[in-house]
């Protein structure tokens, strides 16, 4: 089953900033003829891959998806919020917080943030 991905604020802004920073870094790297990718490029690639996995299979093993009880589901009082790993075993590892909804076959990205 394919899920439609919806971003709410601040997740949408965070994703756009990561993408913009990665593109600028890539352009600078091309201009200076450097081969090694920057941390910004790598982080955006990882976030993008995580969201792609979520859209295909929210239970994908590499996501380590589990319920996160400190956030409230914006659509349902009894709805669950989940945490998916972007990075693991990294200082300040990035996480994506998400929930199902508001409609069937939709996933809402609530936040993209370093591990709390």
Three-class secondary structure assignment of the chain:
CCCEEEECCCHHHHHHHHHHHHHHHHHHHHHCCCCCCCHHHHHHHHHHHHHHHHHHCCCCHHHCCEECCCCCCCCCCCCCCEEEECCCCCCCCEEEEEEECCCCCEEEEEEEEECC
Residue 90 confidence (pLDDT): 86
Compute the average pLDDT of residues 90-112. 95
Compute the average pLDDT of residues 81-108. 94
The domains located in the chain, with CATH, are 4-114 (3.30.2310.20)
Q: How confident is the model at residue 61 (pLDDT cuts 50, 70, 90)?
A: very high
Compute the average pLDDT of residues 70-98. 93
Q: What is the pLDDT of residues 1-60, one digit of tens each?
A: 899 999 999 999 999 999 999 999 999 988 988 888 889 999 999 999 999 999 999 999
Q: pTM of the entire structure?
A: 0.92
């Amino acid at each position: 089953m394919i899920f439609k991905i919806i971003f709410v604020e601040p997740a949408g802004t965070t994703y756009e900033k990561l993408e913009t920073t990665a593109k600028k870094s890539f352009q600078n790297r091309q201009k200076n003829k450097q081969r090694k990718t920057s941390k910004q490029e790598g982080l955006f690639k990882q976030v993008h891959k995580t969201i792609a996995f979520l859209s295909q299979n929210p239970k994908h093993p590499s996501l380590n998806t589990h319920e996160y009880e400190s956030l409230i589901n914006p659509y349902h009082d009894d709805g669950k919020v989940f945490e998916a790993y972007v990075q693991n075993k990294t200082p300040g590892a990035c996480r994506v917080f998400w929930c199902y909804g508001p409609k069937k076959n939709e996933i809402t990205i609530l936040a993209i943030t370093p591990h709390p």
